[in-house]
């Protein structure tokens, strides 16, 4: 008789989902918005996007090589592509090439691999990179441009684009403030929100993306569509996006009602900045958000409230990245306090009492 001892436990069937499939689905959800952005911002945007994603993959490969880890499985999970993609979408589209490369080093080498690689990082790599860049290079990182759709009059051709992205020749005239930044600057000059709001694009234009901003904030509707697609595919659940947008909207609406001259309204908060990108694609990052649904709801609400607070009171008009990083640091604690109740036990972990005894 030939019977080899086997010690493997079941199950002997597995879901067909996998990490690469999950990541690819997220990328797929980003494609429409990204394509539209590429159209809006033309060649410079496309070049920066390519540089950023390419740099992230290169840095990932470098880190893996340094750590002596197998390359194929880790690169094949598309997590570095996703990080690069999200980072590119949060940069000013006409920013110079080195922001993408430096961002890749911050995101992949510092925020991810020093923590031990995929799944081990506490902070969202793309947001670490964005914040580090913003703090180090505030001017470059806030040089937003109005959309210059491909093939439209005044849009940079490919060679102009190379000059912009690789030569740092950003034409002065095109730079424009993002809506959030504009309102903030005006407010600091004593101009009430009620007045400055007249000069920001109306909500419809903001939703469609006809305004200055990062790639991720200029295509709100397509980002929303992508987010809903991810929800339908059960890659993400409603808890973080709804918690975050709900909190942001409620805070905005509430304070706007109290003092319309000081505070922008809830709808404006939802439509401006990269709120949708943040709510559906960034705050929902598996690794850096809580694992239980109640925890995710708490996390989302925290992100929403903090985004509002930072946008409203702090020096940076774009609060989302900071808010997400702050909440990332709370994730372990949220996880600890939002564990589900175990079957047959009370919240405290004691066995349930027998009824009637």
Partner 1 sequence: MKLFPIRGGIHPDYRKELSSEKAIVALPLPELLYIPLQQHIGAPAEALVQAGELVKKGQLIARSQGGISAPQHAPTSGRIKAVTDIPAPHPSGLPQPTIILEPDGKDEWTDLPEPIADPLNADPQMIRERVAQAGIVGMGGAAFPSAVKLDLGTRYKLEFLLLNGAECEPYLTCDDRVMREHADEVIDGARIMAHTLGVKKIVIAIEQNKPQALAAMTGAAFTFSEVDVVGVPVQYPMGSERHLVQAITGRETPAKKLTADIGVVVHNVATARAVHQAVRFGRPLLSRVVTVSGGAVREPNNIEAPIGARVADLVALCGGFSGEPASLVNGGPMMGQPLPGLEAPVVKGMSGVLALTAGEVNEQPAGPCIRCGACVAICPCGLVPVEMAAFIRKDNFDVAAQLGVMDCVSCGSCSWACPSHIPLVHYFNYAKGMINAQERERRKNERIKLLAEAHNARMEKLAVAAEAKRAAVAARKANLAAATGEEKVEA
- Identify which of residues 16 and 188 has a Cβ nearer to partner 1 in the complex: 16
Interior/surface letters 202-236, b for 16+ CB within 10 angstroms, e for the rest: eeeebbbbebbbbbbbbbbbbbbbbbebbbeeebb
- Reading the block at residue 179, the tokens are 């809506």
Question: Which of these ranges, 7-15, 133-141, 258-266, 311-319, lies near partner 1 under the rule CB under 8 A?
Answer: 7-15
- Identify which of residues 47 and 86 has a Cβ nearer to partner 1 in the complex: 86
Give yes or no for residue 27 binding partner 1 (CB under 8 A). no
For residues 180 and 316, give the distance between their C-alpha atoms in angstroms, rounded to a whole number.
Answer: 9
- Identify which of residues 221 and 287 has a Cβ nearer to partner 1 in the complex: 287
- Identify which of residues 82 and 247 has a Cβ nearer to partner 1 in the complex: 82
Number of residues that bind partner 1 (CB under 8 A): 51
Give yes or no for residue 188 binding partner 1 (CB under 8 A). no
Contact in structure between 84 and 53 (CB atoms under 8 Å): yes
DSSP 117: S
Among 62, 117, 149, 192, binds partner 1 (CB under 8 A): 117
For residues 284 and 214, give the distance between their C-alpha atoms in angstroms, rounded to a whole number.
Answer: 19
Give yes or no for residue 330 binding partner 1 (CB under 8 A). no
Give yes or no for residue 243 binding partner 1 (CB under 8 A). no
Give yes or no for residue 14 binding partner 1 (CB under 8 A). yes
Among 210, 231, 292, 330, binds partner 1 (CB under 8 A): 292
Among 41, 51, 52, 77, binds partner 1 (CB under 8 A): 77
- Identify which of residues 66 and 352 has a Cβ nearer to partner 1 in the complex: 352
Q: Shortest gap between Cβ of 127 and partner 1 (angstroms)?
A: 16
User: Contacts with partner 1 in 54-73 (CB under 8 A)?
Assistant: 73
- Reading the block at residue 349, the tokens are 């972990």
Nearest residue to 299 via CA among 221, 247, 257: 247
Give yes or no for residue 114 binding partner 1 (CB under 8 A). no
For residues 166 and 178, give the distance between their C-alpha atoms in angstroms, rounded to a whole number.
Answer: 23
For residues 257 and 259, give the distance between their C-alpha atoms in angstroms, rounded to a whole number.
Answer: 6
Q: Shortest gap between Cβ of 353 and partner 1 (angstroms)?
A: 7
Q: Shortest gap between Cβ of 342 and partner 1 (angstroms)?
A: 4
For residues 271 and 276, give the distance between their C-alpha atoms in angstroms, rounded to a whole number.
Answer: 8
Among 35, 66, 261, 291, binds partner 1 (CB under 8 A): 291
Q: Shortest gap between Cβ of 49 and partner 1 (angstroms)?
A: 24
- Identify which of residues 175 and 292 has a Cβ nearer to partner 1 in the complex: 292
- Reading the block at residue 276, the tokens are 């949708």
Q: What backbone torsions phi and psi does residue 284 show, to the nearest 5 degrees?
A: -80, 0
Long-range contacts made by residues 161-165, C-beta under 8 angstroms, separation at least 24?
Answer: 161/42, 161/43, 161/44, 161/46, 161/47, 162/43, 162/47, 164/44, 164/94, 164/96, 165/44, 165/47, 165/48, 165/51, 165/94, 165/95, 165/96, 165/97
Question: Which of these ranges, 92-100, 249-257, 275-283, 291-299, lies near partner 1 under the rule CB under 8 A?
Answer: 291-299
Give yes or no for residue 115 binding partner 1 (CB under 8 A). no
Question: Which of these ranges, 81-89, 146-154, 214-222, 349-357, lies near partner 1 under the rule CB under 8 A?
Answer: 349-357
Among 101, 228, 287, 330, binds partner 1 (CB under 8 A): 287
Tokens 């080899």 sit at which residue?
4
Footprint on this chain of partner 1 (rule: CB under 8 A):
1-19, 21-22, 73, 77, 79, 117-120, 286-293, 296, 335, 339-345, 349, 351-355
């Amino acid at each position: 008789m030939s019977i080899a001892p086997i010690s493997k436990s079941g199950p002997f069937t597995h879901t067909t989902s996998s990490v690469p499939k999950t990541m690819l689905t997220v990328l797929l959800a980003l494609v429409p918005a990204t394509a539209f952005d590429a159209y809006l911002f033309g060649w410079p945007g496309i070049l920066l996007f390519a540089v950023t994603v390419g740099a992230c993959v290169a840095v990932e490969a470098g880190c893996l090589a340094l750590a002596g880890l197998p390359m194929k499985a880790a690169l094949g999970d598309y997590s570095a592509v996703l990080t690069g993609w999200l980072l590119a979408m949060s940069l000013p589209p006409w920013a110079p090439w080195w922001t993408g490369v430096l961002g890749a080093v911050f995101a992949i080498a510092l925020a991810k691999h020093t923590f031990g690689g995929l799944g081990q990082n506490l902070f969202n790599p793309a947001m670490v990179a964005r914040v580090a860049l913003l703090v180090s290079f505030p001017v470059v990182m806030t040089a937003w441009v109005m959309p210059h759709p491909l093939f439209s009059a005044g849009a940079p051709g490919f060679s102009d684009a190379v000059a912009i992205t690789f030569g740092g020749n950003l034409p002065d005239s095109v730079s424009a403030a993002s809506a959030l930044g504009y309102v903030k600057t005006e407010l600091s000059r004593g101009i009430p929100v009620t007045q400055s709001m007249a000069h920001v694009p109306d909500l419809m234009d903001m939703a469609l993306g006809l305004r200055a901003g990062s790639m991720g904030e200029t295509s709100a509707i397509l980002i929303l569509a992508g987010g809903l697609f991810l929800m339908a595919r059960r890659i993400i659940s409603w808890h973080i996006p709804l918690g975050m947008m709900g909190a942001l909207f409620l805070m905005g609406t509430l304070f706007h009602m109290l003092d319309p001259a000081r505070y922008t309204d809830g709808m404006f908060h939802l439509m401006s900045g990269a709120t949708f990108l943040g709510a559906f694609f960034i705050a929902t990052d598996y690794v850096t958000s809580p694992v239980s649904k109640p925890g995710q709801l708490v996390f989302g609400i925290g992100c929403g409230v903090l985004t509002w607070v930072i946008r409203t009171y702090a020096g940076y008009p774009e609060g989302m990245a900071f808010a997400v990083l702050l909440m990332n640091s709370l994730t372990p604690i949220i996880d600890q306090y939002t564990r589900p109740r175990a079957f047959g036990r009370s919240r405290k972990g004691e066995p349930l009492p027998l009824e009637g005894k």
